[in-house]
Amino acid sequence: MRPQFFLSILFIFLLIACAKTRIHEHDEFGKIFKEHGINTGCFIVRDHTHDALYFFNKEQCLRRFLPASTFKIFNSLVSLETAVAADDQLVIKWDSVVRRTEWNKDMNMREAFKTSCLPYYQELARRIGKERFQFYLDTTRYGNKNCGGKIDEFWLTDSLKITADEQVGFLKRLYFDELPFAERTQRIVRSLMLREDKPEYKLYYKTGTGVMADSTIYWIVGYAEKIEHIKEHANSMNKSDVRNYPFFFAQNFVLPNSDTSKNWFDERLKIMHEMLQNIQAISK
């Protein structure tokens, strides 16, 4: 049975099993994509607090694509777990090859994750090696679990692939320390992903841009924590007045390589914010 067919059957089964209120096809996401000039986008978000899933474009949510730089989440986990990186302060020397300005220097993992420095993570991959990568891809059940080809680029080619739906499941497990990595490892990687820290929310994510034969996929995967302050009763077992309500999400869209009508790197961030604002408005 083909993997794509199996995923479609599984998705339909979940829809039937949870049809009452838990899984929703949300057309508002499609309207947001259209307003930004995108016809081939998908967005999927899991509202953990209300045990609800919202999605747009089921077919694309279930289609596997190369993860591109979203794989830096997984790469960081394996690097820390195997002690290839003792912590997020591991410095890798710049190889003196001029690339992007922000990459042309020595840097540690925290800086490399923030700037999405490909050479840094390629060096980590070479130090990890194929055997250890394959072990963790298998035990984590990450996408199609294929690290064939060159060890320092298999997440950039057609070897490793993952769906938006699988990205959401992976992030949910990371959030709750349910991945086959030490709690410390997962905690450090979550901290790498934090990009916005506001009184009312925290936003964690990683972007990714994958160039294919004649098109480019633009990813953002992550989670948002909605923060609320609740005054607890004096005898309550909850000793903190702070409540975090997580939303796990994955967004991708595909455009021709020739499309330079907008700065799509920045545009995807605007779309992500609009999507999350929309879902929080309806999930109150």
d(CA 173, CA 180): 9
Asked if 146 contacts 154 with a C-beta cutoff of 8 angstroms, the reply is yes
Would you place residue 202 in the very low, low, confident or very high pLDDT band (cuts 50, 70, 90)?
very high
Residue 134 has pLDDT above 80, yes or no: yes
Residue 20 has pLDDT above 50, yes or no: no
Would you place residue 150 in the very low, low, confident or very high pLDDT band (cuts 50, 70, 90)?
very high
User: What's the pLDDT score for residue 18?
Assistant: 43
Write out the catalytic residue numbers.
69
- Average of pLDDT values for 183-195? 98
d(CA 283, CA 212): 36
Q: What is the CATH number of domain 3-282?
A: 3.40.710.10
Q: Where are the alpha helices (DSSP H) in the chain?
A: 3-17, 27-35, 58-61, 72-81, 109-115, 118-128, 130-140, 164-175, 183-193, 264-282
9-18, 41-50, 95-104, 130-139: which has the minimum mean pLDDT? 9-18
d(CA 15, CA 235): 41
3-state secondary structure of 39: coil
Residue 229 has pLDDT above 70, yes or no: no
CA 111 → CA 104, 106, 206, 222, distances in Å?
Answer: 12, 10, 13, 18
Would you place residue 17 in the very low, low, confident or very high pLDDT band (cuts 50, 70, 90)?
very low
The pTM is what?
A: 0.89
Asked if 28 contacts 239 with a C-beta cutoff of 8 angstroms, the reply is no
d(CA 90, CA 75): 14
d(CA 107, CA 12): 46
